[in-house]
Amino acid sequence: MSDHKQPLFSCKNLRAFIRSGDDETEIVKGADLEIMAGQKHALMGPNGSGKSTLAAALMGHPAYRVEGEIFLNGEPVHGLEPHERARLGMFLGFQYPVAVPGVSVANFLRAAMGARRGQEVPVREFRQLMTEGFERLGVRKDFAARYLNDGFSGGEKKRLEILQMLLLKPTFALLDETDSGLDIDALKIVSEGVNLASAPDNAILLVTHYQRILDYVKPDVVHVFMDGRIVRTGGPELAVELEARGYDWIAGETSAAARS
């Protein structure tokens, strides 16, 4: 059980650089974030602002050189490999889930659950949990035998991402544009899965461009991310204002503040 007096997840002065030959480009330029247990935070921002890079850097993606500190339940994880962070309870839902031909959905899910628990999951228990997850998210049972994301539609891939989260029960889930490419019916089902996965002892960071998913997944806190930085933080009403006014007004205010 986590200590609710401290953030369940936090990062301090996080910076992320992408390598290109002998040069580096700084994409995340000093992000500070604290999320308490039981909270859902939304990270919103325009294309190219660095939101997906932040999510990848928090998970330890090897494409980026990262500076700063990352903590889970008060323990530093910035020195750990991605699979070690995952075993401790960090989860990343990808914007573009990749296909893995030759690996069935069922085998992948059981292996992932075993890695998370640190021991093999009994077949009967796994089948029951997987079947329940399929029913909750409207996934056909024959998907269990299909290769992971191979030939799946965008909505099917996203439902499978949420199914993974439900089965793995992460302590902290990063969902990178889970609403991308979803029609309204799929959006409602995926949102319901996110809400089902939310619990008093975990936390969720939902990365998105649009306010529409936040009609179904109610955030406790909304952050605006622009040019590699969190430039504003507020309540759910901030997402509504962004939907109405766009991002330019915040960009203008941020530029004016920098000049003054």
Q: Percentage of the chain surpassing pLDDT 90?
A: 76
| Topology, domain 9-97+170-259 | Rossmann fold (3.40.50)
Higher pLDDT, 105 or 247: 105
How many angstroms separate the Cα of 27 from the Cα of each of 62, 65, 68? 15, 10, 14
Of 176, 191, 234, 216, the closest CA to residue 58 belongs to 176
Which residues, 6 or more positions from 151, have their beta carbon under 8 angstroms from its beta carbon? 99
Average pLDDT over residues 91-100: 91
Range with the lowest mean pLDDT among 55-64, 98-107, 205-214, 244-253?
Answer: 244-253
How many angstroms separate the Cα of 34 from the Cα of each of 45, 81, 189, 206? 18, 21, 28, 14
Q: 255 pLDDT exceeds 60?
A: no
Q: 2 pLDDT exceeds 80?
A: no
Cβ neighbour number for residue 234 with a 10 Å cutoff = 13
- 45-91 pLDDT, tens digit each: 998 899 999 999 999 999 999 999 999 999 999 999 999 999 999 99
- 135-166 pLDDT, tens digit each: 988 888 999 999 999 999 888 999 999 999 99
Boundaries of every domain in the chain: 9-97+170-259
Tell me what pLDDT residue 85 has.
Answer: 96
Q: 4 pLDDT exceeds 60?
A: no
Cα–Cα dist 21/12, whole Å: 28
- 179-195 pLDDT, tens digit each: 888 889 889 999 999 99
- 13-37 pLDDT, tens digit each: 999 999 877 889 999 999 999 999 9
Residues 197-208: b if buried by 16+ CB within 10 A, e if exposed: bbeeebbbbbbb
Q: Name the pLDDT band for 121 (thresholds 50, 70, 90).
A: very high
Q: Angle, to 10 degrees, between the axis of helix 154-168 and the axis of helix 105-117?
A: 30
